[in-house]
Structure 1
Amino acid sequence: MLRFKHLFVTIVGLALCVLSAQAQPRDSKRFAAIENEKIAYITKELNLTTAEAQRFFPIYNQYSKAVWNVRSQRQDDSTPSPKGTNSFNRSSGQRDVLSYDAKELNIKKEYRAKFAEVIGQSRASQFFEVEQNFRELLYKELQNRKRNE
């Protein structure tokens, strides 16, 4: 029980330090709460020890920021085109969806190797599945809240 308390306090403290150090416009109270839930979920699902969590989450935060940047670029480049034109054939600033997917895949490959140094190859690969499962749980929760409103 004492070990669990220590693990929980360490992870929450680490999460709060990281979130406060990376004050960005996207950091709202809801975002911080979701990110804390995500950190707890990842810790539980990957069965991270305290030492592993302390080494893993700074790398995870770098990964998260890199992926966020690629997704933001994709969003910025997806401005609606004038009616009757194809957004993929615009003469200025063609949007190549596959290039964004390739960038994101390269980031995942790079960080899987970094994660493996801390938590081993198996759990590093499992991380991406755990992250997807969390997104699905979050989406289901959002859908349930919308139905109940």
Structure 2
Amino acid sequence: MLRFKHLFVTIGAVIFCILSASAQPRDSKRFAAIESEKIAYITKELNLTPAEAQRFFPIYNQYSKDVWTIRSQKKENTESPSPRGVNSFNRSDRSKKRDVLSYDAKELEIKKEYRKKFAEVIGSARASQFFEVEQSFRELLYKELQRRNR
């Protein structure tokens, strides 16, 4: 019965993710498949009940969007500078654009904000565990990518 419950939650979460991902501009079949796997992994690792998953994943989707935005801004503004003499920016403009720590601080603030929101749904312990689970999924994804590239 418990397995059926987890299977039901996972399938529901995957369907929810696919439907919500289709409205996002960055979606593709590959991205949707990875995001579906991520949702299933999070559901399993955090041991979310169907009711918790239903309340958790809309918050998670907003969190994901906010973090994606900050990381995109960071990437855009920390591109490699042009060779010496070619860049028209003065040194202070470049240092403002390349201030990686300010983007990291913004990302940390987002995580703190969403940890509180997650805690309202799944409790403090699992809300903190979420970030470990998310990192663990990234590591699994990276290892799989490396394995496929061999």
Question: What TM-score, normalized to structure 2?
Answer: 0.88
8 Å contact kept, 2:78–2:100 = no
**Is 1:114 the counterpart of 2:127 in the alignment?**
no
CA separation of 1:82/1:15 partners in 2, compared to 1, >3 Å: closer, same or farther?
closer
Match of 1:92 in 2: 93
What's 2:43 paired with?
Answer: 43
Question: What does residue 131 of structure 1 align with?
Answer: 134
- Deviation by residue 1:93-121 (Cα, 9 ceiling, x = unmatched): 52211100000000000000000000000
Determine helix, strand or coil for the equivalent of 2:141. Answer: helix
Aligned residue number for residue 58 of structure 2 = 58
Shift of 1:15: 1.4
2:6, 2:127 → 1: CA distance? 22
Instruction: Quote how far apart the aligned CAs of 1:84 are.
Output: 3.8
Other structure's SS at 1:27 match? coil
Q: Is 11-20 or 119-128 further displaced after alignment?
A: 11-20
Q: Which runs of 4+ in 1 moved over 4 A?
A: none
Aligned residues: percent identity? Answer: 66
Per-residue CA deviation, residues 2-61 of structure 1 (Å, 9 max, x unaligned), is 4344323322221122112x331x211000000000000000000000000000000000
**Which AA in structure 2 matches 1:137?**
L
What is the count of residue pairs matched by the alignment?
143
C-alpha distance after superposition, 1:95-148 (max 9, x if no partner): 21110000000000000000000000000000000000000000000001111x
| Equivalent residues of 1:15, 1:36 under 8 A apart | yes
Q: Distance in 2 between matches of 1:78 and 1:39?
A: 30
> 2:149 aligned with 1:146, yes or no?
yes
CA RMSD for the aligned pairs? 1.8
